A and B are shown apart, each in its own frame.
Chain A
Amino acid sequence: MVGSRAKSGVEAVAISAAALLATLVLFGAFVALRGINPFDVYRVLYLGAFGSWFAIQHTLTQAAPLMLTALCTAVPARAGLLVIGGEGALVVGGVATVLVGVTLMGVPAPVAIALMCMTGTLAGGLWIGAAGALRHYRGVHETISTLLLNYIAIAVMNHLVTGPIRDFSQVLKPASWSVGERFMIGDLPGTSIHWGLAFGVVTCLLVYVLMRRTTFGFAVDILGGNVRAAQMVGLPIGPLVLSTCVIGGAAAGLAGTIEVIAVHGFASASLAVGYGYAGILVAFLARHNPMAIILIATLLGGISASGGLLQRRFDLPDAATLVLRGILFLAVLASSTLYGRLKIFQSRAV
């Protein structure tokens, strides 16, 4: 009958909205405890995120890496895996980009940039793909392994940038050699938003088509819905698990490349600033739907973008936006138990 699909869409929107509302109430109580009017906070939050062209540009710049790292959780999630290794894959992608970038001295910039993008993508894909292989062939739980791989990735990067590939002309903090100004991709014309946003949006759209329109996406949906059914109809479980992990990791690795060639120009501890973890939140809020990720990443980008303004205006601690994110994550996870329980969204059994 018409509307069964539309109804579940409405259900998703209603439940997400309820979670968002609960978050606003809880965070409002948190700031009220510090004697600040929550409504002022939310007004400033809005202004800082979307109140001006400057704010919007800042927000979109923050959103770009979130779109990519969210895919690192969302794509494997469609196959029933819970991958939280976006942070590590981003770092590995960034470091690999630098390692390849510095060897490309005489190469024309467009070719070099393409090669660096491929490197980051490949490195991130192999990184999470390894977790997928451990899961499928050795039964290692992918959530644990990707969490640990995050620590390993950050440790390896710290080792490299404080030793083997350290650029000693950078005195403020340890950083790697730079890939060079020639290879930086710069901003979208007429804005201060870097090209990473385009990469993020296009990747989300491509992944959407892949997951929703292709036979591959259909097979992944069967696997994610019921692994026993997937086995019964003879689907290749291992290759499907590995592919989703590789695709997810590749997206996060690309985020690392972009951090290097659009923002920093080198690898340093500023690669691991939490985009990977925020991406998990984005993926869950978007219910692992790549189109919704574009929207949610923009919202979350707005929260980070207005963090500084909140801090200055209300003398809130730096961590206040993290508190907001944390409450939001808990509210979203808690609300996910409501799916299928609300009577008004139920279609009757025949």
Chain B
Amino acid sequence: MTKHFGPLVALDNVSIRFEPGSLHAILGENGAGKSTLVKCMMGYYRPDAGDIFVSGEKHAINNPRHAHQLGLGMVYQHFTLVPSMTVAENLILGEAQLPPIIPWEAERERIEEFQRTMPFKLDLDRPVASLAAGEKQKLEILKQLFLGRRVLILDEPTTVLTPAEADQILGLMRGMAGNQQLTVILITHKLREVLDFAGDVTVLRAGRRVGGGAAKDLASEELVRMMIGAGKIARAATRVETPTNAAYLDLRDLTVENDNGLMAVRGVSLQVRAGEIVGVAGVSGNGQRELVEALAGQRQPASGEMFVRGAVYSPRRGEMRQRKVFLLPEEPLRNACVGVMSVAENLAFRNFDEPRNTRYRWLISRRAIRGQALDLIDRYGIKAQGAEARLETLSGGNVQRTVLARELCEEVSVLVAQNPCSGLDFAAVAEIRSQLMDARNRGAAVLLISEDLDELLELADRIVVMFEGKFVYETPRDQADVQTIGRYMASPT
């Protein structure tokens, strides 16, 4: 199969055979062509060349509905459930032909009948909003099976799950595939999932199939080499011993409400010392976003105080500059940049009003801003069509590099980073992690909020677990244990 987007070859002559009753992993970095491949299968895109055979018959899949009729179903990374409706209602919702008046009793019987054949059960009357992430994922899978799909595509299913939930779901899927109940295609960039659960694996890189086979025959080093090719990986970040310093960032009893006026952060207190990375672990949606927004000045805390270098801090421009507080929020295009402004302008957000970038105090010096941009583009390896290119034309990794360059190019006292590596490829991830470590080694207090436990275990000096708006567990780096942390992420009691 081949698919071009303009001059970009997203898929280049990729052929894959999915055996019935197998759990087949498609492994690759972001941008390797995994999503393009499955979107072609589901009928969202049309391949420029190549054919799809389902059970030996050739089909041109024109739209998702057509794919559904052929028994192909997809579970998306982000849930497509209606939170205010019950489990049963959500199951019925997806049916192609629903009568105007729903015969609830008959449908319920049908669902219960169906659930008996399944290896796991959910309470049909619970509203989806009250389900944990793992249960929602199960419901998504149930829904696909209930609708009679025989081939299930799971797109990065474990990003929103705790390690235990992830193991459970993948174990179930492997079991069901083993019983010949269905064929599972697992899209992932996590090696561990492939090695532990997949029967077969196909590795994609830059749109090409670069290798694959039975998972048990492949070693992890081999898979990594296939995924990243000859590309160079930045040196691993080295942790330098730092003395026990004073707390640079000090949160005292901070409470923050979410958009609905509910308490998202419930009276948390935390100190981050200079030269220390404190990692905040937790399943997404437990108040991390609101916490970062409060630190970033995007949300007013309901109560509590923030101290930076010993004095009360309110996130305003003058104080940010004076106390040297910087941020790397998640989704940089949404939180930290303006897509329609140029790379040079985005790089100047922190200092466009400082004397070196102005003339006569009030006039912007375009030349100074351009000079600063060219320097940063060079130093941080930002790939852009020049300093004047609109930021939204850059790839995700380069947008993140742009923000990183802006936030780390000056002396940093406090750095707040949230999921700084999500959606980036190996090389970018390694580079950004080593930049964070460097900032720490230079004496910054780093608060790292991440959904990626491996990232926290690699970088953090201390890990706290956030659950339902509170810090429920804390462990120093040398005593950190994945199982224990995972247990607190799921439920602290």
**Chain A residues near B (Cβ < 8 Å):** 1-2, 4-5, 8, 213-219, 221-222, 225-226, 228-229, 231-236, 343, 347-350
Contact = CB atoms under 8 A, between A and B. Distances in A.
B227 to A, nearest CB: 21
Given A217-B364, A347-B385, 12 more contacts: A1-B388, A4-B386, A5-B342, A5-B388, A219-B352, A221-B345, A225-B341, A226-B334, A229-B335, A234-B315, A236-B316, A348-B393
A4 B390 contact: yes
Given A214-B362, A236-B317, A349-B395, A229 B338 contact: yes
B335 A234 contact: no
Contact of B338 (A5, A8, A222): A222
Given A1-B386, A232-B327, A350-B395, A214 B335 contact: no
Nearest to B382: A350
A207 to B, nearest CB: 14
B353 interface: yes
A348 B296 CA distance: 32
Which 5 A-B pairs have CB atoms at the shortest separation, nearest pair first?
Answer: A225-B338, A234-B317, A1-B385, A1-B386, A215-B353
Contacts of B85: none
B350 interface: yes
Of A347, A349, A350, which is in contact with the most chain B CB atoms at under 10 Å from its CB?
A349
B263 to A, nearest CB: 21
Interface residues of B, number: 45
A196 B45 CA distance: 57
Interface string B360-379: 00111000000000000000
Nearest to B7: A348
Interface in B296-343: 296-298, 315-321, 327, 329, 334-342
Interface string B374-418: 000000000111101110011100100000000000000000000
7 contacts: A213-B363, A215-B363, A231-B296, A235-B317, A343-B6, A348-B8, A350-B395
Interface of B: 6-8, 296-298, 315-321, 327, 329, 334-342, 345, 348-350, 352-353, 358, 362-364, 383-386, 388-390, 393-395, 398
A136 B393 CA distance: 32
A226 B335 CA distance: 8
A232 B389 contact: no
Contacts of A219: 352-353
Nearest to A233: B349
A346 to B, nearest CB: 8
Given A215-B362, A222-B341, A350-B383, A234 B319 contact: yes
Nearest to B385: A1
A4 B389 contact: yes
A105 B353 CA distance: 46
From DSSP, what is the main secondary structure of chain A's interface residues?
A: helix
A222 B389 contact: no
A233 B362 contact: no
Given A226-B338, A236-B317, A348-B393, A215 B296 contact: no
B66 to A, nearest CB: 26
Contacts of A216: 362
A259 to B, nearest CB: 32
